[in-house]
A and B are shown apart, each in its own frame.
Chain A
Amino acid sequence: MVITLKLALRNIFRNSRRTWLTVGLIACGLATLMFTDAMVKGISQAMVQIATGTFLGEAQVHRTGFRENNDVDLFLPDTEELLQSLRELPTVKVAAPRILAGAMLASAQNVAGAMVYGIDPGAEAALGKIKQAMVQGEYLSGLLETEILLGDQLADLLEVEMGDRVVVTVSQSNGGELAQELFRVSGIFRFNDRMLDQNLAFINLSSGQRMLAIDNGVHEIALGFTQQKNTIFPWQQFNHDQLETLSWRELIPQLSGVLNMSDISALIVAGILFVLVSLGLINSMFMSIYERQYEFGVLLALGTRRSQLFCQILWEGFFLGILSALAGVVLGGGLSYWKAVTGIDYGNLEMSGVTLQEPIYLVLSWQQFTLMPLIIIVMTVTACIYPALHAARLVPTDAMRKTL
């Protein structure tokens, strides 16, 4: 055993250039794998944060059936008790009640359709980024019945500026009577998301409830959790035939699908990398074995068992794997850490309806530093099985044709 280890260790440094090239190949493969995984995690996290943190929330409560066609009649009446019980949950950071209705907005110059949200300014400020998205004017104060916030593209469409008048027309609940109210533009926001900036307008919750004639009813309660991951929300406690509580995965299934696809893509990339690196390694090991064929013949002639020769080649693979894993962790970990700190700017790239407004910060995980190097070592040893079998099956007389 000791002599087998000694031979394996010394043999891998016999042709140090080839060894370091092989180590480089495997290390680059591992580094790519670590970087890709960190990037996929970073993009996923950013997309979820952007999607949920902008306005959506991490979960929403609706009257059952409301989401199918945004029917204003399907509101949650008397939500004080519900809001109270939601806010008392330790997993819930904020619960923001909303009304929403499809509306016609008319200015002195133009007319446009939009989705009008009646919101609780305090709760929304804690939940999303409407307040941070303000580019002109002020966020809703909650004090003035006539204040309205418009997306900058909607404001352009209506050709309005701060203080201009906008008439909002909605269809009321219980009969669909049209209701109109005059608002004054108190602020303009920009989420850097075309869909939001062109189609949303925010008014105070009480104004919306009055316009839609739904008293204290709300259409939606958006929830922000204390932590994004691993939140166990007691869905069963709230869901019944009149109420549905949905997580962001169900609210934006296309994003959830993309994230699942990202995980699968990362696995496919990993698989391809493993195959390529394994082929390179097998090639390198075969070159090394062919060069030493004569020597293996001598070892067999001296009484070395085939199993010992087989193990020697596997140990060589193991040491190569250890070296490669160390180099890969340093390279991949270093690169990933660098981009985890500085981020990668995607310049407002839109993916699956989510605009990546801020740099993507790579996410490091313990698997990248433990599981992946371990997989690389196992892969290296596995890739050496075929060359090792070849060496172990050598016939001494064939291997040493020169003399004995």
Chain B
Amino acid sequence: MQEQSTVFEIQHLNRYFGSGEIQVKALDDINLTIERGEFTAIVGPSGSGKSTLLQLMGGLDSPSAGDIILDGKSIAHMSGKELSDFRRDHIGFIFQAYNLIPVLSAEENIEYIMLLQGVPEQERKQRVQAILQQVGLQGFAERRPAQLSGGQQQRVAVARAMVSRPSIILADEPTANLDSHTGAALLDMMKTLNEQENMTFVFSTHDPKIMERADRLIRLVDGKVAEDIRRAA
């Protein structure tokens, strides 16, 4: 039985762009809670606010109104330095375009956040080796991103997001740039890690496979939660 506790609490979250008559309500009074260990997919048509919601949850953007509370701490009014530390210590990002640092090897990319956190070298190396094994990339540690396939790069990105043991992993269309076979394999891997490590995942996606595997589906339409379905594990 997985531990159930609230990771994210989103209260009356609004995000507007522009002002006056040309003001766009990207998010309109969103209220959500994300529980630890959930495998959540945020779905909806383009422009529905999926990416904006992930940006706000990840502390990459500030809300126009409302609050986001992670592990009991409000992130809406954090300073730049506090937000940097918050992202470093609590959020794992997986991007659609992998976004590995091209001048670092796979091993160094995975190690990067732990270096920022000041994790001792021995522990860093152990955790990197362990996660490389988990994502099936033993033997690829020294390769630079340009020497890896798209699927391998996204596995490194998943490893980078997970290795620092964040409170939540936010993934924006993680399978969009992968072929269906590679995407399915990556999804299997993330689901396994979710189940084994009780890691919380929130995806924004159009991928039906992710929607099928998610144990919670949040549908956004015009910046509002139109549907929030929890499935039995």
> Please, which residues of chain A bring their CB within 8 A of the CB of B112?
3, 302
CB distance from B152 to the nearest CB of A (A): 18
> Please, which residues of chain B bring their CB within 8 A of the CB of A301?
58, 60, 87, 93
Interface magnitude class on chain B: 20 to 34
By the criterion CB–CB under 8 Å, are B172 and A3 in contact?
no
A1-18 vs B: 1/0 string, CB under 8 Å? 011001100110010000
Whether A232 is near chain B, meaning CB under 8 Å from some CB there, is no
Selected interface stretch from B39-47, B100-108, B180-188, B212-220: B100-108
Looking at the complex, which one of A10, A14, A308, A403 makes contact with B95 (CB distance below 8 Å)?
Answer: A403
Q: Take A303-B89, A404-B51 as given contacts and tell me if A10 and B97 are in contact as well, using a CB distance cutoff of 8 Å.
A: no
Whether A298 is near chain B, meaning CB under 8 Å from some CB there, is yes
Whether A331 is near chain B, meaning CB under 8 Å from some CB there, is no
CB distance from A259 to the nearest CB of B (A): 51
By the criterion CB–CB under 8 Å, are B113 and A397 in contact?
no
Q: Take A3-B112, A3-B116 as given contacts and tell me if A404 and B104 are in contact as well, using a CB distance cutoff of 8 Å.
A: no
By the criterion CB–CB under 8 Å, are A396 and B101 in contact?
no
Looking at the complex, which one of B85, B102, B104, B108 makes contact with A303 (CB distance below 8 Å)?
Answer: B85
Chain B, range 26-56, C-beta contacts under 8 Å to A: 51, 54-55
Q: Take A397-B60, A404-B54, A404-B95 as given contacts and tell me if A304 and B102 are in contact as well, using a CB distance cutoff of 8 Å.
A: no
> Please, which residues of chain A bring their CB within 8 A of the CB of B103?
7, 10-11, 14
How far apart are the CA atoms of A81 and B123 in the complex, in Å? 88
How far apart are the CA atoms of A269 and B86 in the complex, in Å? 50
Whether A385 is near chain B, meaning CB under 8 Å from some CB there, is no
By the criterion CB–CB under 8 Å, are B116 and A302 in contact?
yes
Q: Take A2-B115, A301-B60, A303-B89 as given contacts and tell me if A402 and B96 are in contact as well, using a CB distance cutoff of 8 Å.
A: yes
Chain A residue with the shortest CB-CB distance to B144: A10
How many A residues, CB 8 Å from partner?
25
Whether A250 is near chain B, meaning CB under 8 Å from some CB there, is no
How far apart are the CA atoms of A270 and B97 in the complex, in Å? 47
Most chain A Cβ neighbours within 10 Å, of B58, B95, B103, B112? B103
A36-52 vs B: 1/0 string, CB under 8 Å? 00000000000000000
> Please, which residues of chain A bring their CB within 8 A of the CB of B99?
294-295, 298, 400, 403
> Please, which residues of chain B bring their CB within 8 A of the CB of A7?
101, 103-104
> Please, which residues of chain B bring their CB within 8 A of the CB of A402?
96-97
Most chain B Cβ neighbours within 10 Å, of A3, A397, A400, A404? A404
Chain B residue with the shortest CB-CB distance to A402: B97
By the criterion CB–CB under 8 Å, are B87 and A303 in contact?
yes
Q: Take A11-B103, A303-B84, A306-B84 as given contacts and tell me if A298 and B116 are in contact as well, using a CB distance cutoff of 8 Å.
A: no
Given contacts A294-B99, A295-B101, A306-B80, 7 further A-B contacts (CB under 8 A): A295-B102, A301-B87, A302-B93, A302-B160, A303-B88, A397-B55, A397-B60
Listed from nearest, the 5 A-B pairs whose CB atoms lie closest are A303-B88, A10-B103, A403-B96, A303-B87, A3-B115
CB<8 Å pairs between A and B, sample of 5:
A301-B60, A302-B88, A302-B160, A303-B116, A308-B116
User: Which residues of B line the A interface, CB within 8 A?
Assistant: 51, 54-55, 58, 60-61, 80-81, 84-89, 91, 93, 95-97, 99, 101-104, 108, 112-113, 115-117, 160, 170, 172-173
